[in-house]
């Protein structure tokens, strides 16, 4: 029993020393001079509004240049706080690498709609309803126009924008979303001059499924030019009219 206990304690001590040694070896000494900055973006480039050059420019504007400084003199928390305030960034983590570089790991925000409101307001929204100022890198997003205030867009349109972004059929089909003065939703497709009216901002997936079935099975028989309004606002039915 005692021998087993001693063996266990020795094994734990050895493992503890090994872990300590690995940490000490991988952690550069604070007097080491920073050799440069390494940027890591935790995403793909699709719909990203910020890139390495923009981050580098932001640091330069605040006269932050880690390269050439000792690691002890680099304000890591200050850099994280500065970059976290960027409206296109979700989270930032900074740390020193074993080679003496400063690594900046960035998780960007990803917009799913680009809103042009009638009052002149222009902004992006992501899946969580975060509002971002228009600008940054170019994006290919569903465009929303009309009476789409920030409150309306963030509380009513996220499910529709998510569907249009994620569904391959509707991401190709939908060109624009317009909101009328009553808050009702219509989609303008790319393939014709039709309007797809969805009515109140709810049950988007169900309504668009009915429209897709009509487009795939009914429209080839009637022809694309017979109607210019496809109304899916009412439950379980499609009403087509010529206006």
Band (pLDDT 50/70/90 cuts) for residue 1 is low
Distance of CA 206 to the CA centre of its chain: 25
pLDDT tens digits along 95-110: 998 888 999 999 999 8
pLDDT tens digits along 129-167: 889 998 877 677 889 999 999 999 999 999 999 999 899
Give pLDDT, residue 39: 94
* Domains defined for the chain, CATH in brackets: 37-108 (3.10.20), 111-241 (3.40.50.11690)
Give pLDDT, residue 21: 39
What does the block give as tokens for 73?
A: 């003199």
pLDDT tens digits along 59-108: 999 999 898 888 888 999 999 999 999 999 999 999 998 888 999 999 99
What does the block give as tokens for 153?
A: 């867009």
- Measured CA to CA, the distance from residue 168 to residue 239 in angstroms comes to 25
pLDDT mean over 5-11: 54
Q: Which of 215, 216, 209 is nearest to 230 (CA)?
A: 215
């Amino acid at each position: 029993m005692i021998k087993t206990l001693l063996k266990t304690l020795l094994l734990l001590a050895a493992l503890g020393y090994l872990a300590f040694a690995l940490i000490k070896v991988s952690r550069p000494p604070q007097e080491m001079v920073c050799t440069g900055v390494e940027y890591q973006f935790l995403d793909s480039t699709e719909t990203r509004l910020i890139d390495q050059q923009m981050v580098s420019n932001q640091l330069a504007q605040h006269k932050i240049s880690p390269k050439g400084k000792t690691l002890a003199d680099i304000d890591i928390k200050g850099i994280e706080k500065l970059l976290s305030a960027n409206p296109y960034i979700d989270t930032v983590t900074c740390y020193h690498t074993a080679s003496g570089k400063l690594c900046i790991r960035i998780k960007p925000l990803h917009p799913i709609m680009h809103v042009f409101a009638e009052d002149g307001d222009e902004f992006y929204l992501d899946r969580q309803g975060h509002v971002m100022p228009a600008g940054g890198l170019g994006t290919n997003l569903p465009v929303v126009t009309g009476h789409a205030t920030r409150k309306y867009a963030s509380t009513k349109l996220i499910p529709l924008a998510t569907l249009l972004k994620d569904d391959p059929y509707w991401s190709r089909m939908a060109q624009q979303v317009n909101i009328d003065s009553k808050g009702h939703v219509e989609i303008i497709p790319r393939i014709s001059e039709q309007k797809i009216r969805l009515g109140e901002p709810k049950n988007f997936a169900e309504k668009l499924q009915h429209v897709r079935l009509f487009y795939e099975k009914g429209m080839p028989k009637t022809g694309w030019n017979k109607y210019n309004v496809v109304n899916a606002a009412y439950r379980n039915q499609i009403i087509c009219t010529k206006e």
